[in-house]
Structure 1
């Protein structure tokens, strides 16, 4: 675990692995998790390049988020962290809220994204307001919310160790940060931003995702010129944890031929 100052007056939690000349890859977590969920990806990609996972403001090891923090504030914090770490350009991979933030990062600084990997996410969710309202109502007890939601987040039958990890990760989130994250993801409408993306983009989705169904990933793929869609079988919403080998292979194949064109 480490904390880095972003130049925006606060510190973010960060986990990092690897080094080398290949373009770094950044990982952005979902609303109900933190940077720790990217451990399988840091271990894999850190063998060949710099791999970095961040906590958003208010999450994990970051400083608390102030009231009114937005998805664009999350994106600005990630860009500030890239400055601190000396990362000029990166492959930016986000899951769920992380995908929403990745689109926002691109909108704020497109030249700093060599590619985007958008997993189990969307440009706009047709049930977003209702999900947000339910999230607020349940956010007073995040352990209870986690226990109630985990079997929807994971394809069944789920690995007991992964199930336990998901519950424990969600249970330790600060409720105020969770409410900010919920607004950032579920109330997003970034259709115009998605249509303006001009970097190589891979859209991934669990074939059994009930939270952000594959139809929303298909819609996102259609919005982004040249984007490619890949399904991950026997996975629901948390594809990187449920099927890490498949997730890592798809992402690795996607970014593997870009490094020579990054300068």
Structure 2
């Protein structure tokens, strides 16, 4: 059985590796600092989800369920039987689906501004982001993904614009946006079932999230630990990367 997703495999360690799943419109590059930070103690795998980055040619349109199935297939092909999962936004929803379907595979779960925790979502922003191709427009849209005090590096919009010179990128993002949305809302996860899993679960969110409301982490099952960063937006893993990495390390250690 062959793997089908692009993957960055980094670091060494005897325990279960850490698997990183990016959000809508992202790719493996968003996890580079996390993988470098863990490399001395843990092996980590960052996947490009279907229709993104180096997995652009995956034959099915991505949503959380498709992404979960693709990652599970690749982990099986790689002979990996236990993992720590960390997922952002759509990747967080995919990580939750993996844990719900294969709880014996998951040692810990770290969900960063995850999709599927409530029906509300800024669908207009996601659709604008999917359709935007020029650097100036991407700069304006991307700023909405971050907290008000974060200064977005110009290189981020430039990188996104360069990728979108390939028309297949925007086509894939538009299809993905419609697959994860249900009109003006998003599809939801069975949170009570998720909270009943016997593994460490952390939900990490930015108070200033303008994509998915932080209020969706209120009233979660008691076994899910919630951490909110007051000055961060939707991209909490980039805005508070050291603190988020520390929380992921806590999840790994508590699973031991």
TM-score over 0.5 (shorter chain): yes
Q: Give matches, 1:103-142, under 5 Å.
A: 103-128=96-121, 131-132=122-123, 135-136=126-127, 139-142=130-133
- Checking the alignment, whether the CA contact within 8 Å between 2:50 and 2:57 is kept in structure 1 is yes
Report the alpha carbon displacement of residue 212 of structure 1 after superposing the two structures with TM: 1.8
User: Is 2:140 the counterpart of 1:148?
Assistant: yes
Distance in structure 1 (CA, Å) of the matches to 2:177 and 2:210: 17
Q: Give matches, 1:223-234, under 5 Å.
A: 223=221, 225-234=222-231
Residue in structure 2 matched with residue 204 of structure 1 by the alignment: 204
Residue in structure 2 matched with residue 14 of structure 1 by the alignment: 7
Report the alpha carbon displacement of residue 85 of structure 1 after superposing the two structures with TM: 2.5
Report the alpha carbon displacement of residue 202 of structure 1 after superposing the two structures with TM: 0.5
User: Is 2:240 the counterpart of 1:247?
Assistant: no
- TM-score, structure 1 normalization: 0.82
CA deviation string 1:151-173 (max 9, x = no partner): 22112332343x53256247626
The two structures, once aligned, show a CA RMSD in angstroms of 2.5
- Checking the alignment, whether the CA contact within 8 Å between 2:119 and 2:187 is kept in structure 1 is no
- Checking the alignment, whether the CA contact within 8 Å between 1:75 and 1:105 is kept in structure 2 is yes
- Checking the alignment, whether the CA contact within 8 Å between 1:97 and 1:184 is kept in structure 2 is no
Structure 2 residues not aligned, in runs of 5+: none
- Checking the alignment, whether the CA contact within 8 Å between 1:45 and 1:51 is kept in structure 2 is yes
Residue in structure 2 matched with residue 89 of structure 1 by the alignment: 82
Residue in structure 1 matched with residue 54 of structure 2 by the alignment: 61
Distance in structure 1 (CA, Å) of the matches to 2:130 and 2:115: 22
Tell me the SS of whatever aligns to 1:61. helix
Tell me the SS of whatever aligns to 1:139. helix
Report the alpha carbon displacement of residue 51 of structure 1 after superposing the two structures with TM: 0.8
* Greater alpha carbon shift after TM alignment, 203-212 vs 163-172: 163-172
Tell me the SS of whatever aligns to 2:131. coil
- TM-score, structure 2 normalization: 0.84
Structure 1 residues not aligned, in runs of 5+: none
- Checking the alignment, whether the CA contact within 8 Å between 2:131 and 2:174 is kept in structure 1 is no
User: Is 2:228 the counterpart of 1:235?
Assistant: no
The size of the alignment, in residue pairs, is 246
Tell me the SS of whatever aligns to 1:23. coil
